[in-house]
Amino acid sequence: MTYSFTISIARKAGLSDPEGTTTKKALNDLGFDGVTHVSYGRTISVDVTAATPQEARSNIEAMCEKLLANPVMETYTIEALA
Amino acid sequence: MTIAVIVYPGTNCEHDIVHALSLAGADTEMVWHRDTELNGATGIVLPGGFAHGDYLRTGAIARFSPIMDAVVDLAGQGVPTLGICNGFQILTEAGLLPGGLVANRDLRFICETVHLRVESTDSVLTRAAHMGQVLSIPLNSYEGNYVADDVDRIEAEGDVILRYSDENGNVDHITSPNGSTNSIAGITNASRNVAGLMPHPERASEDILGSADGMVLLEGFVASTDLVDA
């Protein structure tokens, strides 16, 4: 069975995020005064075959820990798609 | 006494560093990233470039190249190991050095000669320099902005070896060209045998290049490899 996941990867809070800082400033300059924080991340879609949904998710978690995210400076969330 | 220079698809500074290391008296051998052995290497250099196109994150794919098991193994045994620019990024991804590198503060590729102040001589890279020495060395990178969530520990343990400064050695946030935390340009590991820096000492290896200030770093590194029993 093939399972589909969307992985969202974000910079750890407090670490430099120049894209987010610059975009926030641009939004403020455009008059969007209510914007108080912008941060950048990545979205990765992965299809994986596994015997069970639990096995598929556990594989995805291992992929995030090993390669897809850098735990030194990033966090990640995993969303299973129906 | 051979220094292994690791070459990944996308590495583009391997010939420069081989030439500069030869000026410092070293024998070198280029090693393709799909090789798995580093027998007899007394030093390892990961040169600059764009390994694997910098896809995913800089260094993230290169960190799992087949040669990396041998790199991690030898670095763990104390073999002097140096990462320059992209090589520095690979060493952080591999966990051989703390922290990581993200996009420059001003979101532009920096290609200019910068000043570096030597913060510690307790590393294979800075052992021949003196404390407070100011070096003029080119910086060429988009993702050279050093970050670490444990930067206080890194500072307290003396892992910072080079900081961006002005020509007189003054350091403040303005002298950091890329926004690096605490103006950090180079760091070492707890054992002091692994070092990484974003600027390119091999591009400041002869007067004809505008500066030979990088040689004090490379000569120190080569001298440290002479102490290794292969």
Phi, psi of B72 (to 5 degrees): -65, -40
CATH number of the domain that residue B192 is part of: 3.40.50.880
Say yes or no to pLDDT of B195 above 80.
yes
Interface test with B, best of A39, A72, A75, A76 (most B CBs within 10 A): A72
B155: exposed, middle or buried (C-beta count within 10 Å: 0-12, 13-18, 19+)?
A: middle
**DSSP one-letter string for A37-71:** ----EEEEEEEEE-SSHHHHHHHHHHHIIIIIS-T
Residue B230 within any structural domain of the chain:
no
Nearest-by-CA chain A residue for B55: A68
Residue B18 within any structural domain of the chain:
yes
pLDDT of residue B1: 59
Return the CATH class of domain A2-81.
Answer: alpha beta
Global ipTM: 0.81
Token output for B197 = 């820096």
> How far is B19 from B218, CA to CA, in rounded Å?
11
Residue B56 within any structural domain of the chain:
yes
Residue B9 within any structural domain of the chain:
yes
Question: What is the average pLDDT across B149-156?
Answer: 96
pLDDT of residue A25: 94
Give per-residue pLDDT as tens, B5-30.
999 999 999 999 999 999 999 999 99
* Structural Rg of chain A based on CA atoms: 16
Ramachandran class of B26: left when φ > 0, alpha when ψ lies in -120 to 50, beta otherwise: beta
> How far is A16 from A38, CA to CA, in rounded Å?
12
> How far is B72 from B17, CA to CA, in rounded Å?
21
CB B137 within 8 A of CB B211: yes
pLDDT of residue B218: 98
Question: What is the average pLDDT across B43-71?
Answer: 95
Give per-residue pLDDT as tens, A37-54.
999 999 999 999 999 999
Rounded (10°) angle between helices B215-225 and B14-23 = 80
Token output for B62 = 């290169």
Identify all chain B residues contacting A72, using CB atoms and an 8 Å cutoff.
Answer: 92, 95, 98-100, 148-149
Q: Give this prediction's pTM.
A: 0.92
Token output for B211 = 């500066």
> How far is B214 from B199, CA to CA, in rounded Å?
9
Active site residue B93: no
**Nearest Cβ partner for B100 among A14, A18, A70:** A70
Residue B166 within any structural domain of the chain:
yes
Task: pLDDT band for A77, please (50, 70, 90 cuts).
Answer: very high
| Number of domain units in chain B | 1
Active site residue B15: no
Domain range for residue B142?
A: 2-225
Residue B124 within any structural domain of the chain:
yes
Q: Do B102 and A16 touch (CB under 8 A)?
A: yes
Active site residue B200: yes
pLDDT of residue B226: 86
Three-class SS state of B122:
coil
Residue B181 within any structural domain of the chain:
yes
Contact residues, chain B to chain A, C-beta under 8 Å: 56-57, 60-61, 64, 92-93, 95, 98-100, 102-107, 145, 147-149, 179, 181
